[in-house]
Structure 1
Amino acid sequence: MQIRLSWPAGQATATLDDTPTSKALAAVLPITCTAHTWGEEVYFETPVSPALEADARQVVEPGTVAFWTEGDALALPYGPTPISRGDECRLASPCNILGRVDGDPRVLATVRPGDPIRVETTP
């Protein structure tokens, strides 16, 4: 499944794997959320509350689409966060892995705190 994320200064698409969390997210799309940033990560709350999956991870590659179950939020890291060691993308806690941002994830650097972000499936 592919989703589109759009905000005032840009947009990105992401390809999601077939996971319980991605299915739960797809069931509520489209949604518009308020962006937050944490280092080089964009995150925003969603109306879904999935359980932590067995393959959840805390350290991920830039551009990973992750779901932070402790905050019911989609987490989109594109570089180091305040708790990273070196250049790694370290999330606040283990997150469900949903997929990857297509193309260069650094486009997420144009998201500003408070920006509205729309998430929808692509045709």
Structure 2
Amino acid sequence: MTQTIQSQSDDREIKPAILRGWRRRCPSCGQGPLFSSYLKVRDECPVCSAHMSHHRADDGPAYLTILIVGHLMAPLMLWTFFEFEPDPLLVFAVFTVGCVGLSLYLLPRLKGLIVGLQWAKRMHGFASDTA
């Protein structure tokens, strides 16, 4: 059983691919939309016809979203609660809206980032693409 070993020079540029994914654009051309709905990755880019169905983002974006939101909001919530001593129900209401809003903002962007990274590193089925 032989495996194809690729050198570092075969890798695509990571930074542009990640930034395109963050902007929810095709990591190959940067023009076409990456998603057909909120989190559904298109099978193919409508602009450059790059196949995107190979991605395996799975739980990575959700994990990263929880990690980022938790590390931003938990200390802020504790500081607010002890510094200003507001009503606990007010803290709960404000930070619930903040956590949900930040999560909804970050989730598709982090999924695009992961798809862009997979495309740039030729992971999964992206190795057979020509672009």
- Global fold match (TM > 0.5): no
Which is higher, the Rg of structure 1 or of structure 2? 2
Q: TM-score under structure 1 normalisation?
A: 0.26
More strand by share: 1
